A and B are shown apart, each in its own frame.
Chain A
Amino acid sequence: MGALIPIERHGIIGDGRSAALVAEDGTVDWLCWPRFDSQACFASLLGDGGGAWSLHPVGGWRARQRYLTDTNVLRTTFSRPEGEVTVTDLMPVASEEEERRLLLPEHELIRIVECTRGEAEVETRVRLAPGFGTQPTVHRQRSWGGYCVETRTGAFFIRADTPLHWDQGGVHARFTVRAGERIHLSLIWSPEGPAVLPPVREGSEAALERTSQFWRSWVSAAQYAGPYQEAVRRSALALKLLQYPPSGAFLAAATTSLPERMGGSLNWDYRFCWLRDSAFTARCLYGLGYRDEADAFVYWLMHTTVLTQPRLAVLYDVYGNAPRPERLLPQLEGYGGSSPVRVGNAADGQLQLDLHGEVIDAVCAQVHSGGSLDGESRRMLVEFGDLVMRQWQQPDASLWEYRTAPQHHTHAKVLCWTALDGLLRLHQRGLLPRLDANAIGRAREEIAAAVRSQAVDVRSDTYVSTFGGDAPDAALLLLPWYGFEPASSPRMRATTARVLRELGAPGGLLYRNPVLRAEGDGAFLACSFWGVECLADGGGTLEEAERWFQRLLAHASPLGLYAEEVDPGSGHALGNFPQAFSHVGLISAALAIEERRRQAPLRSWVQPEVRA
């Protein structure tokens, strides 16, 4: 295996159907087609047999990556004293109007090499490994140049405006570029014929223009005007890359099996939609003014989960189906030897009591933002309420998805309270006339009483992780977020202070809880941002919140991206990448800070008593 490139030294590009990771050395080492959760054709990130597309100048060059301003078009610059070469990577996207007007490939990855100074010899090698390296392929040279690689499920077309050769099981080229010259390379995947194959040079330039314009136009609609624009916009762009527009769903991350612990076995497939993330994602999208995306997402929540309702599964695929059963890929050794590599996810079988609260909170955010509820949604919400009343007293696996014996987790109980509280608020607005408000109200008070009597450590007067326990948990920072208790209350302030003190890691980071910390868990970025939000909402001063937020910004990758966790010792990213939950946390914290600064509500759904 080649030198291991840290997770955070990757950029992501995508087109709303799939995404690719491009390492700092110019190698595309992750790409699944046609969908995020399809089998990968490039997966060398997880092992040598996974396939990759390398593209870089020959010899020793210093590389750095950046995005073209306000886009998801990635530019890797290779430089040394005698020259400079850039590689611009994109997966083309188009507006609806352009899709009506133009013939466009369904799936394409474009790479444009440009010499900006001096001269350079550039080498590229495309080593396709469809089906995580398990699908047989047949290649043919095409009369116009380039190669067609046929697989069982479709055909790849590798083309360039420079000669390509078949060599050692892949396409290879070595060419010289001089200052001002541009070479274009294209990889297209087409499941059906005839494939759309634009002319490489003109097609790539037009796609670059179109794609840059698309992203700039999209991000310009963000309504955040605070001092952290760059971070917020990058997070919004990363989040948008993880949306699957045909259904409105958001994925947790673009990858599988990037380890939560280097060399360990905590390697999960995150290319699915966790309902847990739904309230955070919806609030964040409404907060930024992305109403279309938010409405589509809430619609997805309510309607594509219909097969399991009123029960909700932990996760779904982009069309609301259960993920494939978890299986191992022994042909891949794993990132940095962290095996096994998994596809599919087994977390689906767990009881996690917080899910209904998350979904109902997302619906409340939609309604507070001016949305309405159709008859079917009203009926489902009433059924959700009945189910929550029946099951809130059961132990569960918690939001951290423990695979040990279920317990009574405080966060889960509070989310049951959130679910019922949200339903009552909708009822008060006249949207749920058939809700048994008296029964729901009684159950809500019972849950609140149970939490306040069984989930409090009397000595420190702080909330604790489990009923009858005494340990803190970073998830408790969310109690104000859900409206259970104001961040400025004495008990919540004490809880926040305890979490920060006992779960704090260097650099403003937080561990999730003492148990996971003892097991070698990294610092969890979303929790760290929840801490900022808690301070901004009244748990601390504005200055404290900002200072902490700025420390967390320092943990972003050079491109402003976040994985799920950070190893506080080495500073390296851990877990799947980039992670929607972390970016949603950043945006939410930035909105909370801005709201505190302006003393004006930006998050219309947050109840007044929760604000500072």
Chain B
Amino acid sequence: MNWGSWLLWGFVATLVLTLALVASQELRLTRVNLPYVLGTMFTPHRAKAKVLGALVHLLNGYGFSLLYVATFESWGAAGWWRGAAIGLVHSIGVLVLAMPLLPGIHPRMATEHAGPTMHRQLEPPGFLALHYGRRTPLSIVLAHLLFGAVLGLFYRV
């Protein structure tokens, strides 16, 4: 395991993922703001939630990149397409598993069935996060493909 390489390229890949999601928002592919989703788990204050969420997002990126790196090590090789392949699986997991589960773990998110309450007011993502825009799945898949490709391209096994 090349810890130095992971620290550097895990950070870069997370940065690329974040920029890709911000660009998706600016290009009107999706409305989702992941740092805001993550930050509101800890505070209702909009501005603080975005800052806090960005930090959580960075830590998440590092956590997931560790899984990518472990996979590269087990294969004995990295490479952009291997990384992108893991990214594809990762994004499908995010869309199909994590997003539908989010209302269950997010303390301020409403559920599809019960609707909003005074404590749970955030719009739930819905199937494939489609509630945040019809092209949200596309932007999430693209962002994770980039994340994996960058990590795979630069990580040294």
User: Nearest chain-A residue to B44 (Cβ)?
Assistant: A103
Give which listed residue, A99, A195, A199, contacts B123 with CB less than 8 A: A195
Known: A193-B133, A194-B132. A103 touches B122 (CB 8 A): yes
Interface string of B70-109 (1 = CB under 8 A from A): 0000000000000000000000000000000000000011
Give which listed residue, A102, A103, A193, contacts B132 with CB less than 8 A: A193
Q: Does B32 contact A (CB under 8 A)?
A: yes
The count of chain A contact residues (Cβ–Cβ below 8 Å) is: 31
User: Nearest chain-B residue to A195 (Cβ)?
Assistant: B123
Q: Does A453 contact B (CB under 8 A)?
A: no
A102→B125 contact, CB < 8 A: no
Known: A138-B134, A148-B131. A106 touches B44 (CB 8 A): no
B134→A198 contact, CB < 8 A: no
B33→A103 contact, CB < 8 A: no
Give which listed residue, B28, B112, B132, B133, contacts A143 with CB less than 8 A: B112
A102→B123 contact, CB < 8 A: no
B121 surroundings in chain A (CB, below 8 A): 103, 196-199, 203
Bound-state CA distance A157–B28 (Å) is 18
Bound-state CA distance A443–B44 (Å) is 57
Q: Which residues of B are interface residues toward A (Cβ below 8 A)?
A: 25, 28, 30-33, 36-37, 40, 44-46, 48, 108-110, 112-113, 115-118, 121-125, 131-134, 136
B30 surroundings in chain A (CB, below 8 A): 193
Min distance, Cβ A1 to any Cβ of chain B, angstroms: 32
Give which listed residue, B31, B110, B122, B125, contacts A191 with CB less than 8 A: B31
B123→A197 contact, CB < 8 A: yes
A196→B122 contact, CB < 8 A: yes
B124 surroundings in chain A (CB, below 8 A): 194
Give which listed residue, A143, A148, A194, contacts B122 with CB less than 8 A: A194
In A363-409, which residues have CB < 8 Å from any B CB?
Answer: none
Q: Does A468 contact B (CB under 8 A)?
A: no
Q: Does A327 contact B (CB under 8 A)?
A: no
A199→B116 contact, CB < 8 A: yes
Bound-state CA distance A101–B117 (Å) is 16
B36→A106 contact, CB < 8 A: no
Residue from A150, A195, A196, A203 whose CB has the most chain B CB atoms within 10 Å: A196
Min distance, Cβ A149 to any Cβ of chain B, angstroms: 13
Give which listed residue, A102, A190, A195, contacts B44 with CB less than 8 A: A102
Min distance, Cβ B100 to any Cβ of chain A, angstroms: 13
Interface string of A470-485 (1 = CB under 8 A from B): 0000000000000000
A194→B133 contact, CB < 8 A: no
User: Nearest chain-B residue to A100 (Cβ)?
Assistant: B45
User: Nearest chain-B residue to A200 (Cβ)?
Assistant: B116
A138 surroundings in chain B (CB, below 8 A): 134
A198 surroundings in chain B (CB, below 8 A): 116, 118, 121
Q: Does A442 contact B (CB under 8 A)?
A: no
User: Nearest chain-A residue to B31 (Cβ)?
Assistant: A193
A103→B40 contact, CB < 8 A: yes
A101 surroundings in chain B (CB, below 8 A): 44-45
User: Nearest chain-B residue to A198 (Cβ)?
Assistant: B121
Known: A190-B31, A193-B30, A193-B123. A99 touches B116 (CB 8 A): no
Q: Does A206 contact B (CB under 8 A)?
A: yes
A192→B36 contact, CB < 8 A: yes
Give which listed residue, A99, A143, A199, A202, contacts B46 with CB less than 8 A: A99
User: Nearest chain-A residue to B115 (Cβ)?
Assistant: A144
User: Nearest chain-B residue to A206 (Cβ)?
Assistant: B118
Bound-state CA distance A191–B30 (Å) is 10
Min distance, Cβ A25 to any Cβ of chain B, angstroms: 31
Bound-state CA distance A144–B80 (Å) is 43
Min distance, Cβ A183 to any Cβ of chain B, angstroms: 17
B45 surroundings in chain A (CB, below 8 A): 99-101
Q: Does A62 contact B (CB under 8 A)?
A: no
A104 surroundings in chain B (CB, below 8 A): 44, 46
B125 surroundings in chain A (CB, below 8 A): 193-194
B31→A203 contact, CB < 8 A: no
Q: Does A38 contact B (CB under 8 A)?
A: no
In A188-246, which residues have CB < 8 Å from any B CB?
Answer: 190-199, 202-203, 206
Q: Does A425 contact B (CB under 8 A)?
A: no
B40 surroundings in chain A (CB, below 8 A): 103
User: Nearest chain-B residue to A154 (Cβ)?
Assistant: B31
Bound-state CA distance A143–B108 (Å) is 18
Min distance, Cβ B109 to any Cβ of chain A, angstroms: 7
Closest 7 CB pairs between A and B?
A193-B132, A144-B115, A193-B31, A103-B44, A194-B123, A194-B122, A195-B123
Q: Does A155 contact B (CB under 8 A)?
A: yes
B108→A150 contact, CB < 8 A: no
Can you pick out 25 interface pairs between chain A and chain B where the beta carbons lie within 8 Å of each other? A100-B45, A102-B44, A103-B40, A103-B108, A106-B46, A138-B134, A143-B113, A153-B28, A157-B123, A192-B32, A192-B33, A193-B32, A193-B33, A193-B132, A194-B32, A194-B36, A194-B109, A194-B131, A195-B31, A196-B122, A197-B110, A197-B116, A197-B121, A203-B118, A206-B118
Bound-state CA distance A191–B32 (Å) is 9
A452 surroundings in chain B (CB, below 8 A): none
B113 surroundings in chain A (CB, below 8 A): 143
Min distance, Cβ A154 to any Cβ of chain B, angstroms: 7
Residue from B44, B123, B124 whose CB has the most chain A CB atoms within 10 Å: B123
In A127-186, which residues have CB < 8 Å from any B CB?
Answer: 138, 143-145, 148, 150, 152-155, 157
Interface string of A583-596 (1 = CB under 8 A from B): 00000000000000
